[in-house]
């Protein structure tokens, strides 16, 4: 396959036949997917999965294969110009505990198993990319830096990626974050966000006079009602999601402990800050009313940001998707791309295939669309490599 192109149109022209060509990588990709996905990798415990990825990279003859203090795995596919670098990121951690059965089932059209879409497939694409590039006979100008990050989800708060970006010395031209699902997604903006946990504790004293009146559940319920009373504007787009609630022990035992996990997001960082202050006030007030101990922890947060819809990286990504018959589904992201953008690196998140039952034990991906997803990735790499994604000087 030709490696240098005069314009993005030349890349687009070759695109429709690319998925068929890429189907030749099926067994290698699925085998990588199975092996990676069957190693449990809950956030903070990704080491074994990253180790296998690095082993695969070494087997493919990649250079600078290494891990860092944060446990991230990285390898470089060398281009012709040592000064140029494109960053590809797939997070290594998953939402499933190590105790879950991580076995995958491979059917003729689908693959089923926990985390297969989020994000074993993304990681398998990184592991297989050297084989794909070799199969297609592509020689890029820029180095491809393949990075699988740890500590991304929940309390991980993208710490792996942050560590890499803080300490890495390579200058990047652009970044692509690879997620297993959904094919057609395109994220290049980030909403402001914070995730919080409110814990409520009530001293364990037996007081028959107050039985039924004082309980960590009642106190937390009051807090929830008051959070829901906070006015949420339609513009800038803002939302409060109450994600999980826990508390109490049994039917007739006074609850001494309860907790709430929630997320606030908004396009405007001032809005996020203002909601956070309101919640602080609510809690202070509820603590005195209910004589309860409240603890409010922000477990992760992001600043809003993004690159413009007219940025050449976004424009060419959309063209590539449309050429492949995909309707780009544009949505803000909270994940790796937000961190890259916040650091001034033009970056997008793309999905590789169609998936269902996300985050259930029977998470399912379709095999056939994978090749369209891969074609999209290859074309985007060629577009960035050809210099067609740079902003005009």
Partner 1 sequence: MNLNDWIKNNTIHHSQFWDIKKLVEEKQKQNLKISLCLPTLNEEKTIGKEIVMFKSELMDRYPLLDEIAVIDSGSTDTTREIAATFGADVYLSSEILPQYGEKKGKGENLWKAVYELTGDIIVYVDADIKNIHPRFAYGLVAPLIYRPEVHYVKAFYDRPLAFSQGVRPSGGGRVTEILTRPLFSLFFPDLTGLVQPLSGEYAVRREVLEKIPFPIGYGVETSHLIDVYEKWGMEAIAQVDLDQRVHRNQETRDLGKMAFGILRAFLFRAEALGVIGKLPDLSTELKQFQAHDEEFEQVTHTIVEEERPPMIELPEYRKKFGIQ
Answer for the pair 245, 176: CB distance below 8 angstroms, yes or no: no
- Minimum CB distance to partner 1 smaller for 70 or for 106: 106
Return the structure tokens found at 104.
């995958």
Count of C-beta atoms within a 10 Å radius of residue 139: 14
Provide, rounded to whole angstroms, the least separation between the CB of residue 367 and partner 1: 9
Burial of 244 (0-12, 13-18, 19+ CB in 10 A): exposed
Answer for the pair 174, 313: CB distance below 8 angstroms, yes or no: yes
- Minimum CB distance to partner 1 smaller for 107 or for 205: 107
What is the C-alpha separation between 128 and 21, in angstroms, rounded? Answer: 15
Provide, rounded to whole angstroms, the least separation between the CB of residue 13 and partner 1: 30
Return the structure tokens found at 129.
């990319």
The residue whose two tokens read 């919080």 is 196
Provide, rounded to whole angstroms, the least separation between the CB of residue 31 and partner 1: 3
| Overall residue count recorded for the chain in this entry | 393
Provide, rounded to whole angstroms, the least separation between the CB of residue 370 and partner 1: 13
Provide, rounded to whole angstroms, the least separation between the CB of residue 129 and partner 1: 15
- Minimum CB distance to partner 1 smaller for 27 or for 69: 27
- Minimum CB distance to partner 1 smaller for 28 or for 301: 28
Provide, rounded to whole angstroms, the least separation between the CB of residue 93 and partner 1: 21
- Minimum CB distance to partner 1 smaller for 58 or for 309: 58
Name the site residues for partner 1 (rule: CB under 8 A): 26-28, 30-32, 34-35, 38, 59, 103-108
- Minimum CB distance to partner 1 smaller for 54 or for 282: 54
The residue whose two tokens read 């695109």 is 15
In sequence order, which residues have a C-beta less than 8 Å from that of residue 262 and are 6 or more positions away?
195, 196, 197, 198, 227, 240, 241, 242, 243
């Amino acid at each position: 396959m030709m490696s240098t192109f005069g314009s993005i149109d030349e890349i687009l022209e070759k695109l429709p036949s690319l998925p068929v060509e890429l189907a030749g990588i099926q067994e290698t990709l699925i085998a990588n997917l199975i092996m990676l996905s069957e190693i449990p990798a809950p956030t903070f415990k990704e080491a074994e999965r990253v180790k296998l990825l690095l082993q695969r990279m070494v087997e493919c003859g990649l250079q600078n294969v290494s891990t860092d203090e944060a446990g991230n795995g990285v390898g470089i596919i060398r281009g012709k110009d040592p000064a140029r670098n494109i960053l590809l990121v797939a997070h290594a951690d998953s939402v499933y505990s190590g105790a879950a059965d991580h076995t995958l089932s491979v059917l003729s059209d689908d693959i089923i198993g926990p985390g297969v879409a989020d994000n074993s497939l993304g990681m398998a694409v990184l592991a297989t990319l050297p084989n794909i590039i070799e199969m297609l006979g592509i020689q890029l100008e820029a180095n491809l830096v393949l990075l699988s990050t740890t500590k991304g989800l929940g309390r991980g708060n993208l710490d792996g990626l942050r560590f890499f970006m803080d300490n890495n010395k390579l200058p990047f031209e652009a970044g692509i974050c690879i997620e297993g699902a959904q094919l057609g997604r395109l994220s290049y903006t980030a909403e402001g966000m914070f995730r919080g946990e409110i814990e409520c504790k009530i001293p364990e004293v037996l007081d028959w006079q107050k039985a039924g009146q004082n309980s960590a559940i009642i106190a937390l319920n009051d807090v929830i009602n008051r959070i829901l009373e906070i006015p949420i504007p339609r513009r800038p787009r803002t939302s409060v999601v109450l994600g999980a609630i826990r508390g109490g022990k049994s039917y007739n035992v006074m609850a001494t402990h309860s907790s709430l996990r929630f997320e606030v997001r908004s396009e405007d960082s001032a809005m996020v800050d203002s909601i956070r202050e309101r919640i602080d006030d609510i809690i202070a007030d509820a603590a005195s009313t209910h004589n309860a101990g409240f603890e409010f922890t922000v477990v992760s947060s992001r600043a809003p940001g993004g690159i413009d819809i007219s940025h050449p990286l976004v424009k060419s990504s959309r063209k590539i998707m449309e050429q492949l018959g995909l309707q780009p589904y544009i949505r803000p992201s909270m994940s790796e791309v937000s961190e890259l953008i916040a650091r001034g690196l033009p970056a997008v998140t793309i999905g590789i295939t169609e998936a269902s039952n996300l985050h259930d034990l029977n998470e399912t991906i379709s095999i056939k669309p994978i090749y369209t997803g891969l074609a999209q990735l290859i074309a985007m790499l060629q577009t960035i490599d050809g210099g067609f994604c740079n902003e005009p000087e």
